[in-house]
């Protein structure tokens, strides 16, 4: 997927600019300075081709191109789903090769499904697994009494409250996470996702100190919140079809999942005195999505280290993590909080 029968206009422009440079080596002209919004991902010859007028892009929009095969239409669809500028959409369409494929979100999703099926078979329960008396005994679940086991702040994403919980998270991961990874790459998407997961469990350890945590909602809500915020911030440039309706559907799905989590948290526990898992991880994911996530996914073409806002939000996230770590070390004993017994 992503292989085109003929080089796109952006690639042709690059080649032409490079041929010009080879034919005129004796002319040492300083290329004009690139504008601020010019891509750092694009080569200097590509920039020079644009600035010298050698980039022969079609006057018609990418949406109007005819005769595309299935893979080309899919890549075009992803471009319009995630990128607000036509120049970026055409660049992405011409340069995308599906190498590497969007492996991160697919791998995480498969692992979550595999762990859920394993737990469903071992507990003989698939709906509302979290109500099973032996559910919290799993070593992947975050439990406040076992908060010193650092891996639990991350591995809780492989445990879900039930098939209804897993199903919505998987749908959002695949429908939102995979296209975002195709455009922005596994590194950026993994950064936002893992940051949301860790922020979710740490937020629970600070704000809902007696509750366990399960599910990948922290990472999912970070990705979806960042994507929706970018759509709002670039509303006029986003050309995806029915964007208002689709935003409404996404918000409804997120609200339903959050409402389910709130209801479950205050539902009579199946293993008193320990309550059911907390819903605060969802809020931690949203906080990461609208701050660090927005900056990470905002500029398709700009390197993260060149964005001042990325450093600011990165510093804020680091301060929160350090605060939560010290809170977990000292606050529980200072507050003399009575925690539920370990599972």
Residue 213 has φ and ψ, to the nearest 5°, of: -140, 135
217 is catalytic: yes
Rounded-to-integer distance, Cα 134 and Cα 122, Å: 10
User: What is the CATH architecture of 103-334?
Assistant: Up-down Bundle (1.20)
The structure tokens 């200072």 sit at 334
- Catalytic annotation, pick one of 160, 165, 184, 282: 282
- Asked if residue 214 lies in contact with residue 156, where contact means CB atoms within 8 angstroms, the answer is yes
282 is catalytic: yes
- Catalytic annotation, pick one of 217, 227, 276, 278: 217
Q: pLDDT per position in the chain (343 positions), as tens?
A: 444 444 454 444 444 444 444 444 443 444 444 444 444 444 444 444 444 443 444 445 676 777 788 888 888 888 888 888 888 888 888 888 888 889 999 999 999 999 999 999 999 999 889 989 899 999 999 999 999 999 999 999 999 999 989 999 999 999 999 999 999 999 999 999 999 999 999 999 999 999 999 999 999 999 999 999 988 888 877 877 777 888 888 899 899 999 999 999 999 888 888 899 999 999 999 999 999 998 888 777 667 766 788 899 999 999 999 999 999 999 988 888 888 988 8
DSSP state of 270: S
Alpha carbon 53 to its chain's center: 36
Q: What are the start and end residues of each CATH 1.20.1540.10 domain in the chain?
A: 103-334
Describe the crossing of helices 70-82 and 86-95 by its angle, rounded to 10 degrees: 140
Residues in Cβ contact with 280 at an 8 Å cutoff, skipping those fewer than 6 apart: 200, 203, 204, 207, 208, 211
Instruction: Output the pTM of the full model.
Output: 0.81
């Amino acid at each position: 997927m992503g292989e085109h029968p003929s080089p796109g206009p952006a690639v042709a422009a690059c080649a032409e600019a490079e041929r010009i440079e080879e034919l005129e080596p004796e002319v040492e002209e300083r290329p004009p300075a690139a504008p601020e919004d010019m891509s750092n991902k694009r080569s200097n010859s590509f920039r020079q081709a644009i600035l010298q007028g050698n980039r022969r892009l079609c006057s018609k929009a990418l949406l109007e191109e005819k005769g595309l095969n299935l893979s080309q239409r899919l890549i075009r669809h992803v471009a319009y789903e995630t990128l607000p500028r036509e120049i970026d959409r055409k660049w992405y369409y011409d340069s995308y090769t599906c190498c590497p494929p969007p492996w991160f979100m697919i791998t995480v999703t498969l692992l979550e499904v595999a762990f859920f099926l394993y737990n469903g078979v071992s507990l003989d329960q698939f709906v509302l697994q979290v109500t099973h008396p032996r559910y919290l005994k799993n070593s992947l679940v975050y439990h406040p009494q076992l908060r010193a086991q650092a891996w639990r702040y991350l591995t809780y994403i492989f445990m879900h409250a039930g098939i209804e919980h897993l199903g919505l998270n998987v749908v959002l991961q695949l429908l939102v996470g995979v296209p975002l990874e195709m455009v922005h790459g596994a590194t950026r998407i993994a950064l936002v996702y893992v940051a949301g997961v860790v922020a979710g469990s740490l937020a629970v350890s600070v704000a809902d100190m007696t509750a366990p945590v399960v599910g990948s909602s922290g990472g999912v809500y970070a990705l979806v919140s960042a994507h929706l915020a970018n759509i709002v911030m670039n509303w006029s440039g986003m050309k995806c079809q029915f964007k208002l309706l689709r935003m409404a559907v996404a918000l409804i799905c997120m609200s339903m999942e959050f409402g389910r989590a709130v209801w479950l948290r205050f539902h009579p526990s199946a293993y008193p005195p320990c309550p059911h898992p907390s819903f605060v991880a969802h809020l931690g994911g949203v906080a990461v999505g609208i701050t660090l996530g927005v900056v990470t996914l905002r500029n398709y073409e700009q390197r993260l280290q060149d964005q001042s806002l990325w450093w600011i939000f990165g510093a804020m996230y680091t301060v929160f993590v350090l605060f939560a770590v010290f809170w977990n070390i000292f606050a529980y004993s200072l507050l003399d909080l009575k925690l539920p017994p370990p599972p």
